[in-house]
Amino acid sequence: MEKSGQAAPSDLPEAYAGVRATTERLASVLSAEDQTVQSMPDVSPTKWHRAHVTWFFETFVLGEYDGDYTAFDDAYTYIFNSYYEAVGARHPRPERGLLSRPGIAEIARYRSHVDAAMDALLLEPDQPGLAELVTLGLHHEQQHQELLLMDIKHVLSRNPLHPAYLPGAPGGRGTAPPKAGWMEHAGGPVEIGHRGEGFGFDNEFPTHTVQLTPFALADRPVTCGDWLSFMEDDGYGRPEFWLSDGWAVVNAQGWESPLYWSRDPDHPDRWLQFTLSGLRPVDPDEPVCHVSYYEADAFAHWTGMRLPTESEWETIAASDGDGDNFLTDDVLTRGAPHPRPPSPPTPSSATPGSGRRARTARIRASGLRRCGRRVQRQVHGEPVRAARRLLRDAGRPRPDHLPQLLPARRPLDVRRGATGAGSLNHGVHHRRPPLPRGGAEPDAGRCAAGAAG
């Protein structure tokens, strides 16, 4: 698909084939047993993802445009529906892992059956509404590509052998994080929302004007080293940093670190993290990932900042975000998807910040730390790496300062259930309940100064 995410009718056959092939490549390295496990209610088995996205095209495209189409199996409408109420009843989500049948070979035949009918249908792509509906289906499948990686990461993490989805390092190391700088905004009326160019989900409309007060946003994400400093300062043990609900969850579930982090049994002072390439030491220069909203909020309080409003986040991201994606055609050859240390920021209106990642005192004094996390949404039709940023403000975030959904400058994983892999055209992720730490994969965050708009 073109960068806007909206395929022209003449490009639909190629776009369709490409997206569908990527899903199969992602699943190809997994065994039948891998593809059947459901490690928690928020995780879906790999084979279910493969079948569900196929069911979408069968139900909503072929069912509408191909009067001669014969369903592969009428029972699939029940077991592979997710939350489409108008279509009818569906198999309970927490019980998807109990579906030992159909097996992966049968699901492969199901995909081939639907693909053959879709290939024939797309020989006449100019039918009214067809291009728009197929494009929606492709974005939907790309979301599930990221979910597939997010979910298999959780599945493999529950195995005491710590198996890798892909062998080798999760990608080459970047440079050490640069000093944080500021991206300033003078405030005033700004327009947010989808501007009508390219693909957009319904929750991105309508475009509307909001009023912002002056603020500034830091230009790089919070790192694992920053988070280690928060932990060293007993961040998980100090209730003054936490929302009451978050503090209750910390105590009920025993949180003391991001999801997938664990102490090295041979070196108790060192932390390890499970990645799609297996277990490895925490890299202090990487963007932190797999943290929940509660944790991001507590970290913000610890630094003397707050989370931004969606309007603030979108305003900066619309002009400074680059919307990078984790998944590309060479995803299986270039290492397991994983957040990497950021490159130095490009020159902008940001003013230099002070302080570097290291010790607690300097972090808290500088107020230049930010935290990122993944969410599911697109902005302006561009690929999304949803990210959180922190604003320098001692006040507790108001209800409208909830998770912000915008493209990140860097492909970063920050949500507690995220894998660090995004889909070809957008991103989705999760972590632990009640604001999933382990769900669709990750995202980035930044810091800012000034009052909220």
Give 215-253 pLDDT, tens digit per residue.
Answer: 888 777 888 999 999 999 999 999 999 999 999 999 999
- 223 and 367 share one domain: yes
What is the extent of the structural domain holding 344?
A: 182-450
pLDDT at 363 over 50: no
In a domain, 166, yes or no: no
Same domain? For 153 and 197 the reply is: no
Looking at the structure, tell me whether residues 378 and 245 fall in a common domain.
yes
237 & 93 share domain: no
Work out the pLDDT band at 322, boundaries 50, 70, 90: low
Q: Does 263 score more than 70 pLDDT?
A: yes
For residues 149 and 297, membership in a common domain is answered with no
Residue 177 placed within a domain = no
Looking at residue 421, its pLDDT comes to 40
Query: Same domain, yes or no, for 111 and 255?
Result: no
Number of domains present in the structure of the chain: 2
Q: What is the pTM of this model?
A: 0.76
Please tell me the distance from the alpha carbon of residue 220 to that of residue 78, in angstroms, as a whole number.
45
Residues 128 and 256 in one domain: no
On whether both 272 and 207 belong to a single domain, the answer is: yes
In a domain, 169, yes or no: no
The last residue of one of the domains, among 157, 173, 193, is: 157
- In percent, the amount of the chain with pLDDT more than 90 equals 53
Q: Is 108 in the same domain as 214?
A: no
Shared-domain flag, residues 98 and 188: no
- What pLDDT is attached to residue 374? 27
pLDDT given for residue 353 in this prediction? 36
Confidence band for 413, pLDDT divided at 50, 70 and 90: very low
User: What are 84-142's pLDDT values in tens digits?
Assistant: 888 889 999 999 999 999 999 999 999 999 999 999 999 998 899 999 999 999 999 99
What pLDDT was estimated at residue 296? 93
Is 176 inside any structural domain? no
Asked whether residue 297 is assigned to any structural domain, the reply reads: yes
394 and 249 inside one domain: yes
Among residues 104, 124, 157, which one ends one of the domains?
157
Among 142, 157, 172, the domain-final residue is: 157
Indicate if 101 and 245 belong to the same structural domain.
no
In a domain? residue 301: yes
